[in-house]
Structure 1
């Protein structure tokens, strides 16, 4: 009997300290796009950072989506596997969607560019919580797939979907 339906959410940050090719592509491609797409939000003023642009013009929030579009092909190459989250057997956890967010950026300093990707898993069945492990399975076509055990960490967030209840008549 499952305890609840949940989504697993993991956030990955990208800054100038990139280690993998994937991280470097996200960092460099989003910075290049930020330089190009932020021009309308600096109009006439000396605004260099994303946070300054947001304060001056709330429409600058559109940059999140514009930068996301610039790396969609890179994200697709992940083949729906969260690169920063594995189960206890070392298997990648699937994500249903990923969303890019600009944490901050600076047109005058590339080292000030920080973005994140938030990965959200498909709906999963939470079977139990065993100490620091979540015991889960992914449900496909009404059937529960193999059991996964994921260690709870600070980077991991659970989005509560629906509680399972026994119904007695």
Structure 2
């Protein structure tokens, strides 16, 4: 069977319990930006939660985009490498070429309720085989090579095969 081309999506959720330094910085800056941008949609300070703003204020869905500006610089620090996903040698290998930022939840009065997510979409990969709950993949750019460098990695929560190409 010939390998199929896949694109993976990894959803990274960041909240008050996140412990890595990068995550903490993203958390803090996205919350500060949320509070600042929410003022535009909450001039009477009538609403406290992100859900209330979405439900009651037309255009509040723009907050995803507006808050994302505060965290774009942190994405550049990743050098287009998906965080947290490593191969069986413990090395980061998965490159992303696009992402989506979203606010999952937030509260203007309670920072502990702030929760955001990045959906990282990988560059196309060749999917060679599945061994138990491990995927054997290689970079699609290696198609013409005699020897193909592969990565074996364990599927984990928040990793999904986003698209499949024949």
Take 1:117 and 1:143, find their aligned partners in 2: how far apart are those partners? 33
CA distance, structure 2, for counterparts of residue 124 and residue 147 of structure 1: 10
Partner of 2:105: 104
Q: Where do 1:116-131 residues align within 5 Å?
A: 116-131=117-132
Structure 1 residues without counterparts, runs of 5 or longer: 164-169
Tell me what 1:166 maps to: none
Query: Normalising by the residue count of structure 2, what TM-score does the alignment of the two structures yield?
Result: 0.90
Contact 2:5 2:140 in 1 (8 A): no
Alpha-carbon distance in structure 1 between the residues aligned to 2:137 and 2:82: 16
- Paired positions, count: 163
SS in 2 for 1:81: coil
**What's the TM-score, normalizing by structure 1?**
0.89
How many Å apart are 1:146 and its aligned residue? Answer: 1.5
- Quote the offset at 1:103 in angstroms: 0.4
Match of 2:30 in 1: 30
Question: What is the distance in 1 between the residues matched to 2:154 and 2:138?
Answer: 14
**Aligned-pair distance for 1:80?**
1.1
Shift in alpha-carbon separation, 1:89–1:47, aligned structure 2, 3 A: same
How far 1:45 sits from its partner (Å)? 5.4
